[in-house]
Amino acid sequence: MTDARNLPSRDLSEKRLKQRHAAEARFKLYGQLAIVIALGFLVVLLARVVQQGYTVFWTHSITTSVYLDPARIDRADLEGNNFDYLAAQNLLKRLKVQDDALGLASGEAMDLVSRDLGYRILGAIKDDPKVIGTTLTFTVPVKANADLYYKGEIERSTPETDRKLSNRQLDWLDRLEAEGLVRSHFNSDFFTNSDSTEPEQAGVLGAVVGSALMLLVAAFIAVPVGVLAAVWLEEFAPRGRLSGFIEVNINNLAAVPSIVYGLLGLVLFINWLGFPRSAPLTGGLVLALMSLPTIIIATRAALKAVPPSIREAALGMGASRTQTVFHHVLPQAAPGVMTGIILSLAHALGETAPLLMIGMVAFTPGLPESLASAASVLPVQVFIWENAAEAAFHERTAGAIIVLLVFMILMNATAVILRRRFEKRW
Amino acid sequence: MSFTLAFALLLAFSVGVWWLGRRRASALAGGERLHSLPGYYGTWVALWTGIPAALILLLFLTAGPRLGEALIAADPPAAVASLPSETAQAFWNDAQSLARGEPTTAIQWTPEQRAALEQKAEQARQYNGFSAFAALALAGVLALGGFLLAWPRISPTLRARNQVEGWINIALMACSAIAVLTTIGIVASLLYEAMRFFASVPPLDFLFGLQWQPQIAMREDQVAAKGAFGAVPLFAGTFLVMIVAMCVAAPVGLFCAIYLSEYAGRTTRGVIKPLLEILAGVPTVVYGFFAALTVGPLFRGFFNWIGSWLAEGPLDPLGQYLMAVQNEMALTAGVVMGIMLIPYISSLSDDIINAVPQSLRDGSYAMGATKSETVKRVILPAALPGVMGAMLLAISRAVGETMIVTMAAGSQARITANPLDSVTTVTRQMVELLTGDQEFDSPRTLAAFGLGLTLFGVTLVLNIIALRIVQKYRQAYD
Amino acid sequence: MQQHIVTSYEEELNHLTAEVARMGGLAEAQVADAVNAFARRDVALAAQIVERDVRLDALELEIERAAIRLIALRQPMAVDLRRTVAAMKIASNLERCGDLAKNIAKRSLVLAETDPAGPVTRSIERMGKLVSSRLKDVLDAYTSSELEAATSVWTRDDEVDEHYESLFRELLTYMMGDPRTITPGAHLLFVAKNLERIGDHATNIAEIVHYEITGEDLPDQRPKGETLT
Amino acid sequence: MQQHIVTSYEEELNHLTAEVARMGGLAEAQVADAVNAFARRDVALAAQIVERDVRLDALELEIERAAIRLIALRQPMAVDLRRTVAAMKIASNLERCGDLAKNIAKRSLVLAETDPAGPVTRSIERMGKLVSSRLKDVLDAYTSSELEAATSVWTRDDEVDEHYESLFRELLTYMMGDPRTITPGAHLLFVAKNLERIGDHATNIAEIVHYEITGEDLPDQRPKGETLT
Amino acid sequence: MAAEGNPLPHDTQLRPPAVAAHTPVANAGVKIHCQGVSAFYGDKQALHDISIDIPDRAVTAFIGPSGCGKSTFLRCINRMNDTIPGARVTGRIEIDGEDVNARSVDPVVLRSRVGMVFQKPNPFPKSIFENVAYGPRIHGLANGKAELEAIVEASLKKAGLWDEVSDRLHQSGSSLSGGQQQRLVIARAIAVQPRVILMDEPCSALDPIATARIEELIDELRRQYCIVIVTHSMAQAARVSQRTAFFHLGQLVEQGSTEDIFTNPREKRTQDYITGRFG
Amino acid sequence: MAAEGNPLPHDTQLRPPAVAAHTPVANAGVKIHCQGVSAFYGDKQALHDISIDIPDRAVTAFIGPSGCGKSTFLRCINRMNDTIPGARVTGRIEIDGEDVNARSVDPVVLRSRVGMVFQKPNPFPKSIFENVAYGPRIHGLANGKAELEAIVEASLKKAGLWDEVSDRLHQSGSSLSGGQQQRLVIARAIAVQPRVILMDEPCSALDPIATARIEELIDELRRQYCIVIVTHSMAQAARVSQRTAFFHLGQLVEQGSTEDIFTNPREKRTQDYITGRFG
Ligand SMILES: Nc1ncnc2c1ncn2[C@@H]1O[C@H](COP(=O)(O)OP(=O)(O)OP(=O)(O)O)[C@@H](O)[C@H]1O
Ligand SMILES: Nc1ncnc2c1ncn2[C@@H]1O[C@H](COP(=O)(O)OP(=O)(O)OP(=O)(O)O)[C@@H](O)[C@H]1O
Ligand SMILES: [Mg+2]
Ligand SMILES: [Mg+2]
Ligand SMILES: O=P([O-])([O-])[O-]
């Protein structure tokens, strides 16, 4: 330890220090970069969904009056009448456009107004046959492509062959708008309608109800079974080969691809047990089996987090095992259990693949009548619409995603709040 | 309806019995010391009253109708014996429906069939009425009997608490059994259907075949041609997508975890963690949508642009290739799947890094180590096995992920290492094979189960290894 | 002084002090009685004193053991430790006082058989009273933890020494007067010496009390009275 | 005995014992020298002895403080505690021995100015040698922790007492023979008494050593030698 | 308020009808009699043939180096070892003459008779009142709210905590300081009227002041209970106990009055341990 | 093997070139000089105006009731408080005359000069060798493997662990017993050649035997280092330290030689605390 060594080693260590601090700064930068990338993806994803989907929340309606020409209406077979054609001719008349012999113009005009108009006219006549011969005024949504034009997504600048609407149709639309017959408003139909082959009439209500039913079924089965199973495994099961096997088994189940659960549902529930296809009951059962391991694992983790001292305290007081668990351990773990349950149900809510396996891709207009009747669910609705050919469905896909994400974020937020509020440090 | 009522009645009766039992025990408490709290005596009697009866009701509810069907189908009328099996099935269904007063199928039965139908329906009605009555009566007898048997045994020395806890224990065990049954169910159903598949396609051809053309087998006359069900291209595609995904997710996820647990302050962490959780909670179908409608076109545009820039230059072939790149490619699916896995990896790693005791950090800082040195030399080595386990779990998830690949990967089964190619994956093929019309005797449909079984096997092995590692590591600090 | 949190500790400490005080009372009585027995030639009292001495011996042992137990079981610190050690040391001084008183009593028994020595006896009795009162003072100082009272006993030790010196001379003169008085004279010499030792022990106790209370020793230059007489 | 895990504790304990041994050596020397100075009427040596006594006083204080510090800082238990307390008590006994030796030396100075007392002096010298050897024996027993050696000192205390008794009578006879010898005779009486006390202290030390080693007290019925002479 | 302890109903489940003839109890004051107790964790023997009599109304301390089996033995007494998989106990342990390992003894009842206090204070995350009331509730010791309140008050008073918490009985038990928590836990144990209180290093998580308070409390309690305390601190054993048992490598090396053990132990191993000459 | 400590390069980053004129050091032996140190956690003041001089080559013990700020003060010295969000320190702390809070002082360097040992032994989950080599590696104290090995050996020897582990240097550090782990941690601290070693209740997780060994080691080390130890055990403070400082409610009540503090403290609060008369 001579003084001679001091100087060089001091230089060295200063140089080293500089290097070390630089390395430190670099390392931190990597971390920040990773966060920025991850959050960047999130922002882009959400922004993209919103950008593609926000337009779905308003739509355009047209107010048109239809003269119910008794000559053109066959009273014997009301359903056989083509009221849409009638309305389209009325519209053309209003636009002072002469229909051609082939009725091509009427045909094109028909493509501007929702088919709903025909049903409305039919309904009006059925309600009161006396209206035939009068002129009635209806307000109905415009056809999806017309709506897109109003929203600026179909542009006149694109060559006519590349777009869904002809120049003539665009002219008509412009004129209708100029005459104040077209009104833009909040698209409540999107929330009150179910799936439809017509984009402008397709809504998410059926899917939302279907999802809710299915989630209820799943929760009703998976939550009690999962929590109680976890309680048994964590608190009662004799530690040994059997419980070790069950533990491994459950951990594996949690990581089994969800599509495999779909196969299970398909074979076990539908083929062997004769459950109905596409039904919330079957879907709920599949999702219940799928969330069971996650609920068990989350519950076990929450139970594990309860310090053993609490158990010892209760046992030492002369409480039985069951009393210990149900009086102390489970209440202590409740927030953690709730969080786990909500998160796994939120996950189940967004699950698609297993539902495809049990036939939930079927087209189901209207609301499910019972747990056993065919229904659609939100994520599958997204998948179906995404596959649809019409461009107008893309908007609806994004819209449905927004609805789905809102539900999911609400559930996640509940979980986060629960966890925050009850987070206990031991 | 009557069963719902029966259950309600039983419940009400049990509650009453519970109350009575409790009161009786309380009264006994005056004299001697009770073994258990009065409530336990009540519960004990109520259990004896309610459980056997409820079980009987449940049994009749589930097995009763089947038994009835079997009974009335035991002697088929002559009119039915000649029918083809499908129509016969419809006949029996209609008989049941008729018995229950539900609408029948649209099949127009011949008059004698109609008569047989009516007769069988009457039989079924009788059976249903009898069985319901029998069930209800039996349940009533059991409830009353249980009560009468249990009631006199209420005494201060009765170990009511222990017995009630025995019942609870059995219930809990039954719940755990469901988890095991699920596994058995998965294995059994996959195996069963897969065996049927392997009956027509030899397993070795399936596992090692290089050709995947399931549509060939659709034609009944052509017995599944050799090589048409070779799963190797599917696994190659799956593997390629997984590699791309891990290239994105592993570094980003790990560094996110490190930053969050070591560098971020409490508030930063409080903001970023929930955001990452949102990323984790986004349903895969949304990722698929994002991949198909945003990332795919973006990549395609990007590569096409590069291609157009290279074309007709010295790298013309490459340029031509790039110009022909499509929306659906392994890269798109992989990158989006990577995004999906980021929060998964980061939260698993975060847990594992946080499990490294603070005392180790303090120890390192007190030695004069900087944060990054502490992370690199103390925390990561300590957490490494756990992080490895997390990565394996992520891989297992990537392999089993369905929606993203279904919506963004493509459907050409090919063996390639080029991420710009369109590839198909196991899961995507399963979706393709099983959506739409399913004929459960065509190898095309059954192939999905072969794939499912293999997928299950692969992920099972991955999971077991990963969980072993993670668990072993967790115990290190216990 | 605040109470200990553990009251049994406090009790044990107090018990120790109380035992020392009791022993002090006993020793004091022995000394006073010995002086009386000597002065009044009271054979019965002298015999009693001799008998009673075993109680002091037993008490000393008991206090010493209690102190050691206290040290082992309570790990006293600072003032408590000083208190414990002081108790042990004071007990050993008191035991010596008792021994000396017993010795005086024994000698009184012998002297009672000879002719009374008149004035010399009275001188010794006076000295005895003085020493007794010193012992009493210092023990009071101990029980009441009064520093000044203890120091005052300590500073006044030379009075006893002076007394003893003059007695020594008086006794020699007395013995020279008549050879028959030599044997009782020798005994009287020892009685006086014993009283002087008792005084010394009182001074020692005063020093110990000072240490117990302050944690410091009294200065070395005590008004030393030990002479060669 | 195994070593303590904390060597500094071991060291402190050993240091304490070593200091006591050193003090013992010093006290032994003082006693032996005092006897010599008395026997050889060596004034210079006597003066030296008186001077050297302060060292014993200082050592006693030091040992006592060290023991208290050890108790406060190390919380000794069982054998260690006994060892510590024993050190403290032995030191106080040794200090008294030193005092007594000093007193003998002082009286030697006075006696040196009178006529030599011949045979009485030799008797006293013999007794001095005996007491010296007792002290040496018991200190050896202490340093080597030999229980038997200590008990043997303890059982043989009556020899010293017998010696003292015969001396007492011899001295009285001596004083009766010639009134001029009364003053030196009185001093000789005290010298003898002092030697007897030193013997007693040696016995005390033996008892302490016994307690230190075994943790038990010696039986009460010691061959009591304390007489009224 | 009701007199302390008075409203508590008394029961004699574990106490023999009278001093049964067969009880091989050495002297009248023995509460726990252990004969040849061995304990195993799987194949590992943690206790070797321990025989000891533990007196009533006194504090018995178990000391010994780490891992010597003190806690194991303590947990044999109230059968807390039953809860450890693989743990096995042989030999006879009697409380008031009744074998605790007998078939007929319900460990749940046993544990209500033998209170236990652990190293780290472990109040339930409930209110102070609920903490103390829990035991009486599950054992049905109180008829009605008033009795329950009386029990809680009496127990808190016995544990010397009443004055500090009487005005905030409905605050959480974990809002108390460590020492108060430990006293709360003791109050909780007292509330079910145990015969014996076992304490496993009850002060090792506390600072000296809280420790002194607990020691003081133990000293009070011993007038009424049979207390067994495991401690690492020899000084503590010396301070609070009347009897001490020294364990080493699963064996009971020496037992005796605390004074004897700490001033003059018979066994060399004991002496070496308490004077710090070990290993 | 190389002579102990010889291959270790020395540097003087923290040591003034000579005894600088400005250093207000009371006497030559002072290693750490603190003047008016206060510490805050958020709004809460945990230390009030502490001034103390800590001597070199001696053990200074900090005692005081729980929460009185002992650990806080200890962590001020090597700026470990920097790692706690919201913690703030004012006042002057000098080591060898250099202000540790000065801008120019890099906490990373400071901490390599001021070793720290924690309550619970915290060896890194690496081999014994790697544990000790960690510090020299990150600070670049060794050129080459041989030097590193020499440092490790020297440090383990100083920590009195070499004999026990020399044949299994490549086993994991956590395979050692608690007491050995604590000595390993001390060896690790020594390996970077600190000037000062701070110990925060280093024995509270250990049993008496391991404690005695660590105390023995501390006693050895004080010949070479300035050691500060926080302890709850007054007996331990009394045993191992030469100087003692008594803290109460964030204030330094009394400091002085250990003997004085424990046999004759000046302040009443100190006396009350060490004799168990508190609160
Ligand atoms: N659950 C267990 N499984 C296996 N071995 C155990 C278990 N608990 C304790 N042991 C072992 O039994 C022996 C005795 O342990 P015990 O806890 O009784 O010791 P102790 O004296 O209480 O020690 P400490 O003072 O550290 O608490 C030890 O060797 C320990 O390793
Ligand atoms: N990280 C922190 N945040 C807020 N307050 C703190 C923090 N650490 C300590 N304190 C407070 O500062 C005060 C001093 O704490 P410190 O840990 O220094 O006490 P201590 O004397 O070491 O106590 P102990 O003996 O229990 O370790 C306490 O009142 C404590 O509550
Ligand atoms: Mg233990
Ligand atoms: Mg602290
Ligand atoms: O032994 P002494 O009586 O002279 O103290």
State pLDDT tens for residues A3-33: 333 334 445 577 888 888 999 999 999 999 9
Q: What pLDDT, on a 0 to 100 scale, did the predictor assign at position B217?
A: 45
pLDDT > 90 fraction of chain E, expressed in percent and rounded: 38
Weakest mean pLDDT among A85-99, A296-310, A320-334, F116-130:
A85-99
Q: Cβ distance D197 to E245 under 8 Å?
A: no
> Residue A261 belongs to a domain with what CATH number?
1.10.3720.10
Q: What is the pLDDT of residues B239-284, one digit of tens each?
A: 999 999 999 999 999 999 999 988 988 888 888 988 888 888 899 9
A102 with A221, same domain? no
Is residue F93 a contact partner of residue F99, using CB atoms and an 8 Å limit? yes
Report d(CA D67, CA D88) in Å as an integer.
Answer: 6
Name the band, by pLDDT with cuts 50, 70 and 90, for residue C222.
low
Residue of D43, D56, D64, D71 for testing the chain C interface, max C β-carbons within 10 Å: D71
Following CA atoms B139, B142, B148, B154 in sequence, which dihedral angle do they give, to the nearest 10 degrees? -110
User: How far is the C-alpha of C152 from the C-alpha of C160, rounded, in Å?
Assistant: 13
pLDDT digits (tens, 9 = 90+) for C121-140: 888 888 889 989 989 999 99
Strand duo E251-257 + F98-99: pairing: unpaired
Residue nearest to atom 5 of ligand 5 (CA): D96
Contacts of C141 (CB under 8 A, 6+ apart): C147, C148, C149, C150, C153, C206, C209
Question: What integer best gives the mean pLDDT of chain E?
Answer: 84
Instruction: Give a yes or no: residue A199 inside a domain.
Output: no
**pLDDT category of residue B438 using cuts at 50, 70 and 90:** low
Contact D94, D56 (CB under 8 A): yes
Please classify residue A100 by burial: count the beta carbons closer than 10 Å to its beta carbon, then call 0-12 exposed, 13-18 middle and 19+ buried: exposed
F52-66 residue pLDDT tens: 999 999 999 999 888
B19 vs A420 pLDDT, higher one: B19
Chain A positions touching chain E (beta carbons under 8 Å): 238-240, 307, 309-310, 312-320, 323, 327-328, 332, 424
Q: How confident is the model at residue E5 (pLDDT cuts 50, 70, 90)?
A: very low
What average pLDDT does range A381-405 have in this prediction?
A: 86
Nearest partner of F93 among F31, F19, F26, judged by Cα: F31
CATH of residue E202? 3.40.50.300
In a domain, A250, yes or no: yes
Q: Across residues A139-152, what is the average pLDDT? A: 84
* Residue B323 CB contacts under 8 Å (≥ 6 apart), including other chains: B303, B304, B307, B308, B311
pLDDT band per the 50, 70, 90 thresholds, residue D225: very low
Strand partners, F58: F226
Chain-wide mean pLDDT for chain F?
84
F127 touches chain B (CB under 8 A): no
Neighbours of chain B (3+ CB pairs under 8 A): A, E, F
| Residue at which a domain ends, from A187, A216, A249 | A187
Residue A251: its chain B contacts at CB < 8 A?
A: 463, 467
Partners of F163 on chain E (C-beta within 8 Å) are: none
**Structure token digits, residue B1:** 């309806």
| pLDDT(B464) > 90 | no
Pair of tokens at residue E117:
């206090």
Q: Select from F109, F122, F123 the Cβ nearest to the Cβ of B368.
A: F109
State the pLDDT at residue B259. Answer: 94
Residue F22 has pLDDT above 50, yes or no: no
Residue F19 — very low, low, confident or very high, per pLDDT cuts 50/70/90?
Answer: very low
Nearest CB among F209, F216, F238 relative to D7 is that of F216
Ligand 2 geometric centre to CA of F47 (Å): 10
Contact of E39 with chain A, judged by CB distance below 8 Å, is answered with no
pLDDT confidence band for E35 (50 / 70 / 90): very high
Tell me the β-bridge partners of E90.
E38
With a Cβ cut-off of 6 Å, ligand 1 is lined by: E 41, 44, 46, 64, 66-72, 84, 232
Q: Does residue E75 sit at the A interface (CB-CB below 8 Å)?
A: no
- Residue C215 has its nearest CB partner, among F238, F263, F272, at F263
Give the pLDDT band of residue F187 (cuts 50, 70, 90). Answer: very high
Angle among Cα B183, B184, B190 to the nearest 5 degrees reads 90
Q: Is F230 helix (H, G, I), strand (E, B) or coil?
A: strand
Q: Is residue B224 very low, low, confident or very high in pLDDT (cuts 50, 70, 90)?
A: very low
Closest CA to D49 of D69, D36, D26, D30: D30
Percent of chain B with pLDDT over 90: 20
Give the containing element (helix H, strand E) for E157: helix E145-158
Q: What is the pLDDT of residue D220?
A: 57
- Tokens 């989006």, located at residue: B336
Average pLDDT of the segment spanning B147-165: 85
Mean pLDDT in chain C?
86
Check pLDDT > 50 for residue F160.
yes
CB contact under 8 A, D68 and C61: no
Is E278 an interface residue toward D (CB < 8 Å)? yes
pLDDT for res D85: 92
Distance from CA of E205 to the nearest CA of F (A): 9
The answer to whether position A23 is within a domain reads no
Structure tokens at E54: 């533990």
Indicate whether E75 belongs to any domain.
yes
Is A15 within the bounds of a domain? no
Quote the percentage of chain D above a pLDDT of 70: 94
Take residue A291 and report the two structure tokens written for it: 């969330």
Return the minimum-mean-pLDDT range out of A289-298, F15-24, F37-46.
Answer: F15-24
Nearest CA in chain C to D104: C228
Q: Could you please report the per-residue DSSP string of F239-259?
A: HH-SEEEEEETTEEEEEEEHH
A382 in a domain, yes or no?
yes
C201 vs B25: which has the higher pLDDT: C201
pLDDT confidence bin for C157, thresholds 50/70/90: confident
Cβ within 8 Å of residue B408, ≥6 positions away = B288, B291, B292, B295, B296, B327, B328, B332, B333, B336
pLDDT-derived band at B227 (thresholds 50, 70, 90) equals: very low
Side chain identity at A217, as an amino acid letter?
Answer: V
Q: Is C96 touching ligand 5 by the criterion CB < 6 Å?
A: yes
Question: What CATH code is assigned to B213-473?
Answer: 1.10.3720.10
Give the closest ligand to the alpha carbon of residue F200: 4
Q: Read off the tokens for C111.
A: 């002297």
Closest ligand to residue F72's CA: 2
- pLDDT reported for residue E14: 39
Q: Is residue E6 part of a domain?
A: no
Q: How far does the CA of residue A298 sit from the closest CA of chain E (Å)? A: 21
Residue with the bigger pLDDT between F119 and C157: it is F119
Whether C2 and F272 lie within 8 Å, measured CB to CB: yes
In a domain, E178, yes or no: yes
By Cβ distance, the residue of C80, C215, C216 closest to F275 is: C80
Phi, psi dihedral angles at F7 (to 5 degrees):
-70, -5
pLDDT, mean of residues A115-144: 85
pLDDT category at F6 given cuts 50, 70, 90 is very low
pLDDT of residue A423: 58
Please state the ipTM of this predicted complex.
0.78
Instruction: Report if residue F7 sits inside a domain.
Output: no
* Backbone conformation region of residue E64, classed left if phi is above 0, alpha if psi is from -120 to 50, else beta: left
Q: Is the pLDDT of residue A276 over 70?
A: yes
In a domain, A369, yes or no: yes
Cβ < 5 A residues, ion ligand 3? E 71
CA distance E215 to chain C (A): 7
Token representation of residue B250: 């592993």
Task: Specify the pLDDT at position D72.
Answer: 87
Please give the pLDDT value at position F268: 87
Tokens of E217: 């409390």
- Number of domains comprising chain E: 1
CA of E73 to the centre of ligand 1 (A): 10
Is E16 inside a domain boundary?
A: no
Q: Which chains touch F (3 or more CB pairs under 8 A)?
A: A, B, C, D, E
**Secondary structure class of A132 (helix, strand, coil):** coil
Nearest CB among C78, C189, C226 relative to D189 is that of C189
Domain boundaries, chain B: 3-158, 213-473
Answer whether C175 sits within 8 Å of D168, measured CB to CB. no
CA distance A127 to A139: 18
Of B354-358, B367-371, E143-147, F8-12, the least confident: F8-12
**Low-confidence winner among B390-404, B426-440, D137-151, E78-92 (lowest mean pLDDT):** B426-440
Question: Is there a domain that residue F268 lies in?
Answer: yes
In degrees to the nearest 10, what's the CA dihedral of A64, A65, A68, A69? -100
Least-confidence region, from A320-329, B38-47, C216-225, D201-210: C216-225
Nearest atom in ligand 5 to the alpha carbon of residue D100 is: 4
Residue C129, SS3?
Answer: helix
Distance from the alpha carbon of residue A313 to the mean position of ligand 2, in angstroms: 28
pLDDT tens for D49-107 read: 999 989 999 999 999 999 998 998 888 888 899 999 999 999 999 998 999 999 999 88
User: Which residue range forms the structural domain that includes residue F85?
Assistant: 30-274
- Structural domains in chain D, CATH included, are 2-214 (1.20.58.220)
Q: Give the domain extent around A113.
A: 55-187
What is the sign, positive or negative, of the torsion defined by CA atoms of A286, A291, A292, A293? positive
Name which residue leads in pLDDT, A230 or C159.
A230
Predicted confidence (pLDDT) at residue B156 exceeds the cutoff of 60: yes
Among A186-195, B104-113, B237-246, C61-70, name the one with the lowest average pLDDT: B104-113
For the whole model, what pTM was predicted? 0.81
Structure confidence at residue C220 (pLDDT): 57
| Residue range E238-250: mean pLDDT, rounded | 91
Q: Pick the closest to residue F135 from F191, F199, F182 (CA basis).
A: F191
Q: Does E144 touch chain B (CB under 8 A)?
A: no
Cα(E192)–Cα(A314) distance, integer angstroms: 12
F16 domain-assigned: no
DSSP state of A162: G
Q: Tell the burial category of B200 from Cβ atoms under 10 Å away from its Cβ (0-12, 13-18, 19+).
A: middle
Strand locations in F156-267, DSSP E? Answer: 196-200, 226-230, 243-248, 251-257
Tokens of C159: 């009075």
Instruction: Indicate the number of domains in chain A.
Output: 2
| 3-class SS letters over chain B | CHHHHHHHHHHHHHHHHHHHHHHHHHHHHCCCCCCCCHHHHHHHHHHHHHHHHHHHHHHHHHHHHHHHHHHHHCCCCHHHHCCCHHHHHHHHHHHHHHHHCCCCCCCCCCHHHHHHHHHHHHHHHHHHHHHHHHHHHHHHHHHHHHHHHHHHHCCCCCCHHHHHHHHHHHHHHHHHHHHHHHHHHHHHHHHHHHHHHHHHCCHHHHHHCCCECHHHHHCCCCCCCCCCECCHHHHHHHHHHHHHHHHHHHHHHHHHHHHHHHHCCHHHHHHHHHHHHHHHHCCHHHHHHHHHHHHHHHHHHHHHHHHHHHCCCCCHHHHHHHHCCCCCCHHHHHHHHHHHHHHHHHHHHHHHHHHCCHHHHHHHHHCCCCHHHHHHHHHHHHHHHHHHHHHHHHHHHHHHCCHHHHHHCCCCCCCCCCCCCCCCCHHHHHHHHHCCCCCCCCHHHHHHHHHHHHHHHHHHHHHHHHHHHHHHHHHCCC
Query: Tokens 């399913």 — which residue?
Result: B438
Residue E256 lies in a domain: yes
A352 CB-near residues (< 8 Å, 6+ apart): A379, A380, A382, A383, B283, B284, B285, B402, B403
Cβ of D5 and E265 within 8 Å? Answer: no
